[in-house]
Chain A
């Protein structure tokens, strides 16, 4: 599924990361909304019903994985892609979050634009992998593992 005209919520406390993702998404025709912390993220998720959330693992007020859980509750059904330098791809915490279906993918910082675009598209188009939704223990997984 194309990112064209889709609303993507970027949650990162670093404005420069937001700047980079904003430009990347803009180039793909998507609309980027930014949140710098957990409160902003929850509010934006509820109000704007984004198609996808790009979530950092460390926010000033809360851990990324906790934020993911809260977004799940506040606005169920929105796929969440974790974009972080705090974890590594085989990190047990990430593996557990993927298995629980808390996040639908993980992109390690620094990322290649190709890899993150692929991960976003996979997240938006789970059918491509022959799956519907993100049941427990399945999910598109890590960007590098599920290239287009």
Chain B
């Protein structure tokens, strides 16, 4: 007995002095039978308080029913720790790990609880859980048996499973077996346990029944203590949206690429130095060079135009785009006439990173323009017909009359000689007029630019329209420089420009007037001014005067093409044409053309 008492004394001492909170309760009434000092310290209730309470009162109200049911059952035969959430007297929630065992008190069985405050650790665990739940990835923690130790909220939502359906389950029960087998998931997890090395991201397509297909990137990360791997984290990122987005981007890229490829214009890009970076089908077709042949080569190897070179060289310029007409060298060694539009490509920071070059093959357009120019010439001839008729018929009349005198007999030798002379000179005059006309009407097949003396061209044009001026009682005054003023151009086309301008001026003076034609150097350019004393052009017509088919002339007198052709030809010569007019006083058309540069003079 003494021994038993001493043992009881000792037990009581252990009970009282234990640093762990210990209490005994009646499993039937759940009333506290005894508590130690540590329990009093932990919970804040006095011993008296405890003895008046039941164990259920240490719980949160929400947990109470479940807790009471659990602690009402006898403890497991093998010691098992339980985690309880409890409330202190001051209201603070604490977590305790409790071990229950059965003891005999006063001949009755009672429950002894040894608790330990694990609130600190629990807080970390809770933090860990809420972190896991907060991250937008699916996370599974697997143990060595490939069972799920925990699954975060993201995984549960995505897989439409509850925690109970996953926790403690084997991987094969959580994922469709097909996927596990196909991906060799189990083997991979085991490898991570064995090698303690994380796997690289891999793609997994996973379809939960009733949910659209999702695409994941997953990796397996070992969770180890020292060299031993306790668990493996199975991290899955849902990349379905990103995949869709990148698919859309790829589609957009493919679309853009096909736009560029299908364009009938030449589209190419270069780096900042002008080396070719892309080259579309039209470029290939026009030049005969494949992309492989031109890749990385300087663009101006294929387009020797000064305008293009200039554009590349003024990188620092404020102008970010430019236009020029030039040539494209073909593989066969020919040149195609192309109009180039060059634009700078900039990155997001606004720095120039290269150039986009769009070229339009002008071969077809040139052909069409030539046809229009030809038909317009015929129209001009129609306008000039009366003047031409009058002018040619006059010398013919003289020749004809003189020939008729010659047919008479007994002519004085002096008159005979005079008649023969008149026949000859009359035919010569008529022939000169016809020659001028032929020169004008002859198709301009040679479109190659050569050095041309501008005043000479102006004089030639004047000689063709001179007849018309005479029949319209128009005085022609010229102020042309004596020295040669050369430009690079097509003489036939330039002559057409001036003939059109002269006829236009003369049209404005149906009752006669003065046509002033002057040429001069002004700044770096050559200017030709054509001034009439006609009716002038109204301001609203001035804006449209270079539009094709815009005419104020009576039907049959003009096609409305003359000035638009002048404009197109002058632009083709890198020049410009402008008009000033005063209603009732007359108009001045000014053609500005760049002179032949000294370099070009030397070259030719």
Contacts and interface: CB of A to CB of B under 8 A. Distances in A.
Interface of A: 14, 16-17, 19-21, 23-24, 27, 57-58, 60-62, 84-86, 109-113
B356 interface: no
B249 to A, nearest CB: 74
> Ordered nearest first, which 6 A-B pairs have the shortest CB separation?
A85-B393, A110-B400, A20-B401, A110-B397, A109-B397, A86-B390
A62 to B, nearest CB: 7
Interface string B165-196: 00000000000000000000000000000000
B390 A110 contact: no
Contacts of A14: 394, 398
B470 A109 contact: no
6 contacts: A17-B394, A20-B397, A57-B390, A58-B390, A85-B396, A110-B393
Contacts of B473: 60-62
B153 interface: no
B399 interface: yes
Nearest to B391: A85
B394 A113 contact: no
A107 to B, nearest CB: 10
A84 B393 CA distance: 8
Contacts of B397: 17, 20, 85, 109-111
Contacts of B395: 16
Nearest to B392: A85
Given A19-B422, A58-B470, A62-B473, A85 B400 contact: no
B426 interface: yes
Contact of A109 (B386, B396, B471): B396
B401 A111 contact: yes
A24 B394 contact: no
B470 A110 contact: no
B393 A109 contact: yes
A60 B474 CA distance: 8
B415 A85 contact: no
Interface string B381-417: 0000010011011111111111011001000000100
* Interface size bracket, B side: 20 to 34
Contacts of A57: 390
Given A60-B473, A110-B399, A110-B400, A23 B405 contact: yes
A58 B400 contact: no
B473 to A, nearest CB: 6
Nearest to B429: A16
Contacts of B401: 20-21, 23-24, 110-111, 113
B402 A20 contact: yes
A110 B394 CA distance: 7
Q: Chain B binding site: helix, strand, loop or mixed by DSSP?
A: helix
Interface in B135-180: none
Nearest to A58: B471
Interface in B525-576: none
A15 B399 CA distance: 13
Interface of B: 386, 389-390, 392-402, 404-405, 408, 415, 422, 425-426, 470-471, 473
Contacts of B405: 20, 23-24, 113
Contacts of B426: 16
Contacts of B408: 27
A28 to B, nearest CB: 12
A86 B386 contact: yes
A16 B422 contact: yes
Contacts of B386: 86
Contacts of B404: 112-113
Contacts of A60: 470, 473
A3 B514 CA distance: 41
Given A20-B397, A109-B393, A110-B400, 17 more contacts: A14-B398, A16-B398, A16-B426, A20-B398, A23-B405, A24-B405, A58-B390, A58-B470, A58-B471, A60-B473, A61-B473, A62-B473, A85-B397, A109-B394, A111-B397, A111-B400, A113-B401
B302 to A, nearest CB: 57
A93 to B, nearest CB: 10
Nearest to A91: B386
A61 B475 CA distance: 10
Contacts of A20: 397-398, 401-402, 405, 422
Contacts of B393: 85-86, 109-110
A140 B398 CA distance: 26
A83 B376 CA distance: 32
A14 B425 CA distance: 13
A67 to B, nearest CB: 12
Which of A21, A62, A85, A112 has the most CB atoms of chain B within a 10 A radius of its CB?
Answer: A85
A88 to B, nearest CB: 8
Contacts of B425: 16
A62 B389 CA distance: 18
A18 to B, nearest CB: 10
A61 to B, nearest CB: 7
Contacts of A58: 390, 470-471
Contacts of A19: 398, 422
B422 A85 contact: no
A85 B394 contact: yes
A87 to B, nearest CB: 8
B398 A17 contact: yes
A86 B396 contact: no
Contact of A85 (B390, B399, B470): B390
Contacts of A111: 397, 400-401
